[in-house]
Chain A
């Protein structure tokens, strides 16, 4: 069974602070995706990383895929209240063809 552990589970910070969310596994994934989910809605894809060591930037968000393709991180610079939400990482295994989701990190950014 492929498991993904996210940390921290909860994070409450002030506007303007930086933060990093981690997603770790003992399994290798062919790709790893990050989603954000708002209350009452489905997850929305932010980014997909495929290559070990890959770094992708989306405005103030920086995503990194570990060299061994077992872990990933999401770094947010100068967080804003609009960044508030549940952040989920999800890994796609080589054979299973279905995403395995982490337990999520709930971020609250106070104005």
Chain B
């Protein structure tokens, strides 16, 4: 019974490179949320997707960040031209319906050098 799977667990990128973070939801889950967490802080909402649709991207920076959740395959959070300030833990959470509890993955820790 696989939970929410995120990969890679750790990602190191140089400034200016692209980072692609993947999230495979639990079986039957069609709602995906991405959050960012800085050390010793809470989670900041970035984007909410539901199969092929972006429902709410109000927490997403306007430039360099994009997210998708295709019909087949994992959800992808893409960060272009990374900067040091993008270094953080990025968590994905999924659920089967709006009344269902959220299940979190173990995150991807992005380090920009």
Q: Do A and B come from one complex?
A: yes
Residue ranges of A at the interface with B (Cβ–Cβ < 8 Å): 4, 6, 33, 40-45, 48, 88, 90, 96-104, 106
* Pairwise interchain contact B44-A101, C-beta atoms closer than 8 A: yes
* Pairwise interchain contact A97-B55, C-beta atoms closer than 8 A: yes
Instruction: Given A101-B35, A103-B42, check contact A48 B101 (CB 8 Å).
Output: yes
* Pairwise interchain contact A101-B42, C-beta atoms closer than 8 A: yes
C-alpha spacing A47/B101, complex, angstroms: 10
Contact partners of A103 in chain B: CB under 8 A:
41-42
CB distance from B29 to the nearest CB of A (A): 14
Chain A residue nearest to B56 in the complex (CB): A98
CB distance from A1 to the nearest CB of B (A): 10
* Pairwise interchain contact A97-B4, C-beta atoms closer than 8 A: no
What bracket does the count of chain B residues touching chain A fall in? 20 to 34
Contact partners of A97 in chain B: CB under 8 A:
48, 55-56, 98
* Pairwise interchain contact A106-B40, C-beta atoms closer than 8 A: yes
Q: Which residues from 59 to 113 on chain B have a C-beta closer than 8 Å to any C-beta of chain A?
A: 59, 91, 93, 98, 101-107
CB distance from B10 to the nearest CB of A (A): 10
Interface CB pairs A-B, < 8 A, 16: A6-B42, A33-B102, A42-B93, A42-B105, A42-B107, A45-B101, A45-B102, A45-B103, A98-B33, A98-B45, A99-B33, A99-B43, A99-B93, A101-B35, A103-B42, A104-B41
* Pairwise interchain contact A44-B41, C-beta atoms closer than 8 A: no
Contact partners of B107 in chain A: CB under 8 A:
40-42
Contact partners of A96 in chain B: CB under 8 A:
56
C-alpha spacing A88/B41, complex, angstroms: 10
* Pairwise interchain contact A99-B101, C-beta atoms closer than 8 A: no
C-alpha spacing A48/B98, complex, angstroms: 14
